Structure 1
Amino acid sequence: MSPSPIKVLIVDDQPSVQNLIRHALTEDREIEVVGVAGDAYQARDLIKQLNPDVLTLDIEMPRMSGIDFLERLMRLRPMPVIMFSSLTQHGSELAVRALSLGAVDVLPKPLEGFTKEILQKLTSSVKTAQRGHRAKGSGAVGPVVRGTPEIVDMARWNGKVVLMGASTGGVAAVEAVLTRMPRDCPPIVISQHMPETFLKSFAGRLNDLLPQNVQLGRDGEQLKQGNIYLSPGGLAHTGVRRNGRHFEVTAIDAPKRNGHIPSVDELFYSAVDISEAITAVLLTGIGKDGAEGMRELKRRGAYCIGQDEASCVVYGMPRAAADMGILDQQLPLQEIAKAICASCETRRA
């Protein structure tokens, strides 16, 4: 017997957008659009009535914003949500906020209209969201960390660099790890699958949230303790290399890898020659980006950590690494910062 279709509720105040989304989703036999709401209040009533599996939600709506509704929804009835946001600076900041609150994905809403690629990505995101939710059962859908996290203590830094990769669910996961890191943490370089404008907003959000200095990684920039570097995306991947006695960021001019710029594999492969000075971390995400690069790092002496299935929004990238047998540790999200610090400190006698 074939599985039941994924029930989707569309929430958007523009009828033309509602129709576009409905048409794109109903072309897939695995998806059923069960209703359409013009604002958050209609959505609230329809959720109770129709019990959808997945919500598509516009960030900017009348009466109650999509962000405010998402925050209430995640507190009272957690469920997979795909958000739409404009590519303006304000829209990008809201998009990152939505991902931090637990939205599974945020898709761009271009001023000139939806492209075929975006609508195809929507269908894929709906399926990904529901698969992850079914695997977990009822309850929270993402690694949204409540309360004030406990900061990890770290002894003297041993000079290692941390390379971290994430995709779907990664914003909340990255925040959960970084908010537990000490102020004088080892240098951390992050490759997060996200549009360029969103990455800039994510770096700004992290810089406001954390005591460390957070910035977009620029070519030739020296890696320093207490600093976090986020790949800026755009036309180049981000890597690391040795330059004399220190390590630095390098921009890698290459096509998309595993469908992404920035790619986690590109980040990991860039550091193969300095593997013994690397702790590599794979967090939640669809696909297998990062697993092959992590295997090469592991072969040459890197320490490798993966997020466990229970705390992932999508157990894809860490699973690929686990299936290869290359993880030194596979841990719940809240324990990863401690493991990173332990691998990057000088051992006490």
Structure 2
Amino acid sequence: MRRIRVAVIDDSAIVRQVVSELISHAADMEIACTAADPLFALPKMSDAWPDVIVLDIEMPRMDGITFLRKIMAERPTPVVICSSHTERGAQVTMQAMAAGAISIITKPRLGVRQFLHDVTSDLLAAIRTAAHANLRGLQAASGASSALPEARSAEPVVARAPRAGARMVAIGTSTGGTVALENVLRQMPADCPPLVIVQHMPEKFTAAFAERLDSFCIPEIREAQDGDRVLPGRALIAPGGSHMQLVRVASGWAVEVADGPLVNRHKPSVDVLFRSVAKLAGSSALGVIMTGMGDDGARGLKEMHDAGALTLGQDEASCVVYGMPKEAMRLGGVQEQLALPDIARRILELA
């Protein structure tokens, strides 16, 4: 079996050294090249183009986002962002995800060597996922999103249909989900149904993600806080590092945001959200599972389905990674499977 060829581009010699060592010990990977910045990397990559690029953001001469956009325009290649775990790093990384990066590995300012050893399994899993990602689905989603209205005052492209049942919508997604969610949320009108969302993402990054979406989407989009009301025209995104559940309050629903153990290796977990929605909202809910690696959310969506909820899944062709929706389909939890461009319209028809 041919090994995954990986290019590591980072201005930190320690990062290049440690990541190269970790990759060299993986039986299915090898280092294609390393470089301190993109201008050093390009001549090396042109000799033997890598399957995956592990890319820093802040580098001399050419920053990672500029390089990422260049690569995606000229020779699309899966990219794993290795970014600093800071507020500034989160904001910039969101731009990288919008430009086509597959996933994020965070790194601290200090203790980088030990940190990279601690997250070896996550790093290697991200590289493997990127190597098998559907870049055509990512590019199609990005292209469709860029064609949608930018301004808050713009009319959504989806027309409202008569209400058919569901009074709230729960969405779960992971790898490739930042672009997929942008595609869906850009099409939501001001009076869209209440939306509760889990996107697998580290701490601080969900706040930057929600802030970015809120800047150009019509509904209110925010990182959820404990006790936030679930209301029409509002999308609540579970914060990285915490689980989010639906809870009843006197006048309807709210969310509970709390710490807890990892579920399916994730916090927040889609299953945690979906199971709470199944229990409390039942047939009043609509569940949507979209692109992502693994099976988080598949069992929870089946529980929603069994509780009478309507359920949708993203199809394989439009997924960056057809993992979570595939498992949900296998379990019988998906009533309808749709291409990404059709999901927002169907949500509004059903809710």
TM more than 0.5: yes
| CA distance in structure 1 between the partners assigned to 2:18 and 2:139 by the alignment | 26
Letter in 2 for 1:222: R
Instruction: Give the corresponding residue for 2:221.
Output: 214
Q: Aligned-pair distance for 1:166?
A: 0.8
Conservation of the 8 A alpha-carbon contact between 2:314 and 2:339: yes
Asked if residue 300 in structure 1 is aligned to residue 299 in structure 2, the reply is no
Asked if residue 251 in structure 1 is aligned to residue 257 in structure 2, the reply is yes
Q: Secondary structure at the match of 1:33?
A: strand
Q: Secondary structure at the match of 1:145?
A: helix
Out of 313, 324, 342, the residue aligned to residue 320 of structure 2 is 313
Q: CA RMSD in A?
A: 1.8
| CA distance in structure 2 between the partners assigned to 1:141 and 1:119 by the alignment | 28
Instruction: Give the corresponding residue for 1:168.
Output: 175
Instruction: Give the corresponding residue for 2:340.
Output: 333
Letter in 2 for 1:185: C
Instruction: Give the corresponding residue for 1:45.
Output: 43
The one-character-per-residue Cα deviations of 1:276-326 (angstroms, maximum 9, x if unpaired) are 111111111111000111111101110111111111111110000111122
User: Structure 1's 209 and 46: CA in aligned 2 closer, same or farther, altered over 3 A?
Assistant: farther
Out of 28, 31, 38, the residue aligned to residue 33 of structure 1 is 31
Q: Give the count of matched residue pairs.
A: 338
- Residues 209-288 of structure 1 aligned to structure 2 (within 5 Å): 209-234=216-241, 236-273=242-279, 274-288=281-295
Conservation of the 8 A alpha-carbon contact between 1:142 and 1:169: no
| CA distance in structure 2 between the partners assigned to 1:67 and 1:214 by the alignment | 25
| CA distance in structure 2 between the partners assigned to 1:67 and 1:33 by the alignment | 22
The one-character-per-residue Cα deviations of 1:140-178 (angstroms, maximum 9, x if unpaired) are 667323432262111465661110111111111111111
The one-character-per-residue Cα deviations of 1:212-235 (angstroms, maximum 9, x if unpaired) are 11112222222111111011132x
Asked if residue 132 in structure 1 is aligned to residue 133 in structure 2, the reply is yes
Conservation of the 8 A alpha-carbon contact between 1:141 and 1:313: no
Letter in 2 for 1:5: R
Q: Aligned-pair distance for 1:38?
A: 2.0
Conservation of the 8 A alpha-carbon contact between 1:142 and 1:313: no
Structure 1 gap ranges (5+) = 345-349
Q: Aligned-pair distance for 1:269?
A: 0.6
Identity between Structure 1 and Structure 2 (%): 37
Instruction: Give the corresponding residue for 2:96.
Output: 98
Asked if residue 58 in structure 1 is aligned to residue 56 in structure 2, the reply is yes
Instruction: Give the corresponding residue for 1:111.
Output: 109
Q: Aligned-pair distance for 1:252?
A: 4.5
The one-character-per-residue Cα deviations of 1:169-212 (angstroms, maximum 9, x if unpaired) are 11111111111222221111111111111111111111112121
Letter in 1 for 2:255: V
Conservation of the 8 A alpha-carbon contact between 2:177 and 2:292: yes
| CA distance in structure 2 between the partners assigned to 1:239 and 1:99 by the alignment | 26
Letter in 2 for 1:255: P
Per mean C-alpha deviation after superposition, the further-off stretch among 269-278 and 301-310 is 269-278
Asked if residue 122 in structure 1 is aligned to residue 133 in structure 2, the reply is no
What's the TM-score, normalizing by structure 2?
0.91
| CA distance in structure 2 between the partners assigned to 1:253 and 1:63 by the alignment | 41
Conservation of the 8 A alpha-carbon contact between 1:78 and 1:141: no
Q: Aligned-pair distance for 1:45?
A: 2.4
Find runs of 4+ consecutive structure 1 residues off by over 3 angstroms: 138-143, 155-159
| CA distance in structure 2 between the partners assigned to 1:313 and 1:59 by the alignment | 22
Out of 77, 96, 100, the residue aligned to residue 79 of structure 1 is 77
Instruction: Give the corresponding residue for 2:206.
Output: 199
Structure 2 gap ranges (5+) = 149-155
Conservation of the 8 A alpha-carbon contact between 2:312 and 2:335: yes
Instruction: Give the corresponding residue for 1:13.
Output: 11
What's the TM-score, normalizing by structure 1?
0.92
Instruction: Give the corresponding residue for 1:347.
Output: none
Conservation of the 8 A alpha-carbon contact between 1:74 and 1:140: no
Instruction: Give the corresponding residue for 2:86.
Output: 88
| CA distance in structure 1 between the partners assigned to 2:76 and 2:308 by the alignment | 41
Per mean C-alpha deviation after superposition, the further-off stretch among 13-22 and 332-341 is 13-22
Conservation of the 8 A alpha-carbon contact between 1:258 and 1:289: yes
User: Structure 1's 39 and 142: CA in aligned 2 closer, same or farther, altered over 3 A?
Assistant: farther
